Chain A
Amino acid sequence: MTTNVTSEVRASYAYKTATNRLGLWLFLLSDSFVFGGLLVSRFYLLGNTRPHLDQTLGLIVTAMLLVSSFFMNRAETAIAHGDEKTFLRGTLITLVLGVAFLLGVVGVEWRLAPFGPADDVVGAVFYMMTGMHAFHVLTGVIFLGIVYRNGRKGLYSAEKHWQVEAAAVYWHFVDVVWIFFYPALYLIGTVAG
């Protein structure tokens, strides 16, 4: 596959970006083992029961995260076509929705939940899973903040926007994780208690 690549090609932005892309995907593969381990722990410890949570709130935060991924995709496609305005708007909306998700989970759901992390194993699992996911959302938000700042400075172009792509892929990954976590915490099984 790369056995006859010249040094000019290797030094090119496109070749380096492809290398970076492989690195990012491997990182996500690695990270998915953390979330896999958390899902296994959830089913091992809680089995067919689930925590007592606010269903409406769960639906709202989930919807916000899914919609944010749509805008992130729009932002990335826009910069790939050189449309800076749509790119910046999409990034900003994603960022705002991400912060809203964080506030919804950590700010509201953690307060509303009728149990604390130290009460019993249901609480432990719930706070660990949402906490680990929220930590990833937070890093994604920071990443988006950097991308937005650099985007406003005009550092990205249709040809060179690896940071945007990386932020988008990471954001989608965090979103996909939630697609597994949401049913595992809110939908599957009967309410514990």
Chain B
Amino acid sequence: MSATKRVNIFSLSLVRGIVFQILGTLVGIGVVTLIRLLMGLPAWKAEPAGVFGAFLGVLFFLVGAGTIRDWYKMALGEPVSDHHAADPEQPGWAKYFNISYDHKVIGIQYGVTSVVVMLLAGSFALIFRAELARAGLQLIELDMFNTLVGLHGIVMIASILLGVGAMSNYLVPLLIGASDMAFPRLNAFAYWVNVPGALLVVSSLFLGGFDTGWTGYPPLSARAPLGMQMFFLGVYFIGLSSILGSLNLIVTVIRMRAPGMSYFRMPIFVWAAVATSIIGLTATQLIGLSFQMVMFQRLFGMGFFDPAKGGNVILFQHLFWFYSHPAVYVFILPGLGIISELLPVFVRKPLFGYKWIAMSSLGIALVGFFVWAHHMFTAGMEEYLRVPFMYSTLLVAVPTGVKFFSWVGTMWRGRMSFETPMLFTLGAVSIFLLGGLTGPPNATVATDLHLQDSYWIVGHFHATMFGGFVFPWFAAIYYWFPKFTGKMYNEKLGKLHFWLMFPAFYLMSLGQMRVGLLGMRRRIADYDPALGFDNTQTLVTIAGYVIAFSVLLFLFNLVRSIRSGEVAVANPWNSRSPEFQLPSPIPEHNYAEHPFVVVGEPYDYGLADAEYVRFGAASEPAAAD
């Protein structure tokens, strides 16, 4: 890269999108105000103007960034190009700020956005965790505390969804031997719609915030400040991204596999990604619907959740949790897939029970559709629903147990080595076990009546998220880093990252569970010092800061390695997977110059002469749109 290449920042899609979003917001506010004026109403009303402005802002962003240009041409019957090439006039980094149809670029866009958003959500937590370190109020106001708690939750969820998008977009086409996703334009659109959506969610901080937590239950959400509407609208668009991304992924897996790659010869992560996508494609619609209904209640007075008009607040919870429970499987299934994918490589043994793992991912996804009401045992819902939902929830332990059984079977008498990705994989298994074992008490009605809304739940949930997403996510980044960048990360710093984060996480999660059992409520800024857990709270806060520090270390490691790391070899882990047979970094058109056929089983590690992929015999799969 020569330093002489310069970029006009207004040529970047990201910048143009944001400028258009601001413009669209102003136009929307103006239109509503004008209409009200013409109707003889008081011209200025913040809520309708703000909501319509925000909505129009997102649409303007998408147009301004150029996400729909090709579709517009297609609708008019004009030809569009199927092939992507980075603009040679611009420096290499510019393609990440522009619309790209290359799934690898989009995967990196997802990944970097996910990390940026994670830092934001993490810093929200650091602020309110500092407040919770001692009893009494020292740092922030109550409203601010509530908003930060809610934002930490929802922004982390956005970060995880983006991380899941990063893994499935970058990895799945490579793992199945495709040149790209089935619908590259839809892929780009699904990424870019997140950006204005996330901006809206964060803007709620400056529009009065919202005090409902990330679940947005009415009736409170029906009268919270304007920030609530921005939260609903932002999440709505992020959900749209999930739906479209899931659709694209399922079609890609069904239509774009390399010759010889039958369903049971796909790398196991692909199964996890498909199971995730089934949830994302369908259930997401219901959180969208429930949020839309609250928005309309606020805007038009439609009384869905207003008992005075015959509405029912419990309906919101049914619709909301029909998505939001399966959503946790969207968060963890890809991570569990990463564990199954990485373990055999570092144990040098076949994956134990491939078909069982593949089916257990689908099993978790499907059972997940029938468990949502376990969040509502104390909500005043119909009482006869409690026991059936208790049993269906406990049933989830069966396919999850299958996974643990297989992981132990894979590790059994293997020749383990402990590079950073493996450390994070093992950490994930251990932490997810903690998360899994602390689940049944919440699923069981009798115990849940006591545990509901306590800090115990916070501890349990963080264990499932760290075990099911955070640790596998870091494992995946370290593992595939050479394929992304062509450089190796620094192993020492990577290990330090793990050895800081792993014990700190246990301290945090077990501390949260302890204060919960002793009577700490979740989402409350203060507690009675007489409860006697001040010191545990302080430890939890310290642990949180150690985790944050370890993440900074991780970032430092990656940035330094990209700039001046060792040049990576093609296959540093001796993996059998097809993408590791390509040079590092991956060539722009994947396997175009290196076609392969699948001739054996994917995970026959340690077996003599067992071949998985054979190069030089197949043809290049093309994209359709």
With both beta carbons as reference points, the residue of chain B lying nearest to A23 in the complex is identified as: B251
- Contact in complex: B303, A124 (CB < 8 Å): yes
A117 CB contacts on chain B under 8 angstroms: 296, 300-302
Given contacts A2-B257, A120-B310, contact A26 B250 (CB under 8 A): yes
Considering the chains assembled together, what is the distance between the CA atoms of A81 and B318 in angstroms?
Answer: 48
Considering the chains assembled together, what is the distance between the CA atoms of A95 and B618 in angstroms?
Answer: 47
With both beta carbons as reference points, the residue of chain A lying nearest to B624 in the complex is identified as: A16
Question: How does the 8 Å CB contact mask read for A17-36 relative to B, with 1 for contact and 0 for none?
Answer: 01110110011011101100
Does chain A have a CB within 8 A of B543? no
Does chain A have a CB within 8 A of B42? no
A155 CB contacts on chain B under 8 angstroms: 77
B300 CB contacts on chain A under 8 angstroms: 117-118, 127
Does chain A have a CB within 8 A of B531? no
Contact of A30 among B260, B281, B309, B622 (CB under 8 A): B281
Considering the chains assembled together, what is the distance between the CA atoms of A15 and B309 in angstroms?
Answer: 53
- Contact in complex: B262, A3 (CB < 8 Å): yes
**Considering only CB atoms and an 8 Å cut-off, how many residues of chain A contact the other chain?**
45
- Contact in complex: B251, A7 (CB < 8 Å): no
With both beta carbons as reference points, the residue of chain A lying nearest to B82 in the complex is identified as: A11
Given contacts A4-B260, A34-B288, contact A153 B77 (CB under 8 A): yes
With both beta carbons as reference points, the residue of chain A lying nearest to B277 in the complex is identified as: A26
Contact of A123 among B283, B289, B302 (CB under 8 A): B302
- Contact in complex: A10, B621 (CB < 8 Å): yes
Does chain B have a CB within 8 A of A96? no
Question: How does the 8 Å CB contact mask read for B288-316 relative to A, with 1 for contact and 0 for none?
Answer: 11100100110011111010011110010
Given contacts A30-B281, A41-B304, A121-B304, contact A2 B311 (CB under 8 A): no
- Contact in complex: B285, A45 (CB < 8 Å): no
Question: How does the 8 Å CB contact mask read for B230-264 relative to A, with 1 for contact and 0 for none?
Answer: 00000000000001000110110011111111100
B290 CB contacts on chain A under 8 angstroms: 37
Q: A129: shortest Cβ distance to chain B, in Å?
A: 11
Does chain A have a CB within 8 A of B75? yes
A127 CB contacts on chain B under 8 angstroms: 300, 302
- Contact in complex: A5, B247 (CB < 8 Å): no
Does chain A have a CB within 8 A of B286? yes
Question: How does the 8 Å CB contact mask read for B447-478 relative to A, with 1 for contact and 0 for none?
Answer: 00000000000000000000000000000000
Q: A190: shortest Cβ distance to chain B, in Å?
A: 15
A4 CB contacts on chain B under 8 angstroms: 259-260
Residue of B255, B304, B622 most packed against chain A (CB within 10 A): B255
- Contact in complex: A121, B311 (CB < 8 Å): yes
- Contact in complex: B621, A7 (CB < 8 Å): yes
Considering the chains assembled together, what is the distance between the CA atoms of A7 and B177 in angstroms?
Answer: 12
A19 CB contacts on chain B under 8 angstroms: 182, 251, 255, 624
19 cross-chain CB contacts under 8 A: A2-B256, A2-B257, A3-B258, A5-B259, A19-B624, A23-B247, A29-B281, A34-B286, A34-B288, A37-B285, A44-B318, A117-B301, A120-B303, A124-B309, A125-B304, A127-B300, A128-B293, A128-B296, A128-B302
Q: Residues of A with Cβ closer than 8 Å to B?
A: 1-8, 10-11, 15-16, 18-20, 22-23, 26-27, 29-31, 33-34, 37-38, 40-41, 44-45, 117-125, 127-128, 146, 150, 153, 155
Q: Residues of B with Cβ closer than 8 Å to A?
A: 75-77, 182-183, 186, 243, 247-248, 250-251, 254-262, 281-286, 288-290, 293, 296-297, 300-304, 306, 309-312, 315, 318-319, 322, 619-622, 624-625
Shortest 10 CB-CB contacts between residues of A and residues of B: A118-B301, A16-B624, A124-B302, A7-B619, A121-B310, A33-B285, A19-B624, A155-B77, A11-B622, A37-B289
Given contact pairs A3-B257, A19-B624, A120-B303, a sample of 12 additional A-B residue pairs in the complex whose CB atoms are under 8 Å apart: A3-B258, A3-B260, A19-B182, A19-B255, A30-B281, A34-B288, A45-B311, A45-B312, A117-B296, A118-B301, A121-B309, A127-B300
